[in-house]
Structure 1
């Protein structure tokens, strides 16, 4: 069941209410009794758990089974001639600015 945030525009009383989707919207303030109690717009909260796509593809850190980035050797790149430096690096595919 979702938790809805309510606020009274008459007295400022705020309250979080656990309601079913089918429950009617509350309109009477429990603090002052005025018919000025209304739902507030709030951000939805959720948490991704488990070992699915989030952990392997998007979560930062060392967890997951995503492939490690290819490393290039610094000394070998420095000793190549200018005609060889125009070729893409290993694993680049020509889609970056390394050449």
Structure 2
């Protein structure tokens, strides 16, 4: 569930609220009781948990695929880079 940051434009009170995305925005300030709460833009955060694929899992691997093993000839260079093959 996302956490939203709010600030009251009347008294300056700040608060965080854990809400569903479908929940209506908060309006009434718990500090002054006036309907002055505004939702603020804040940086979202996430945590990687459990085992999974990471970029470093396969770095430095010397294994080659079958398509790399059968490919021994290099493609001829293009004349001035003005060919239709790219």
TM over 0.5: yes
Count of matched residue pairs: 61
For structure 1, the residue ranges without an aligned partner over 5 or more in a row are 69-99
Partner residue, 1:6: 6
Cα shift at 1:51 = 2.8
Cα separation, 1, equivalents of 2:35 and 2:28? 5
Partner residue, 1:51: 52
**CA displacement 1:1-31 (0-9 Å, x = unmatched):** 1111111011111111111111111111110
For structure 2, the residue ranges without an aligned partner over 5 or more in a row are 62-86
Structure ranking higher on relative contact order (CA contacts 8 Å, 6+ apart): 2
Q: Which runs of 4+ in 1 moved over 6 A?
A: none
TM-score (norm 2): 0.61
Cα RMSD for the two superposed structures:
1.9
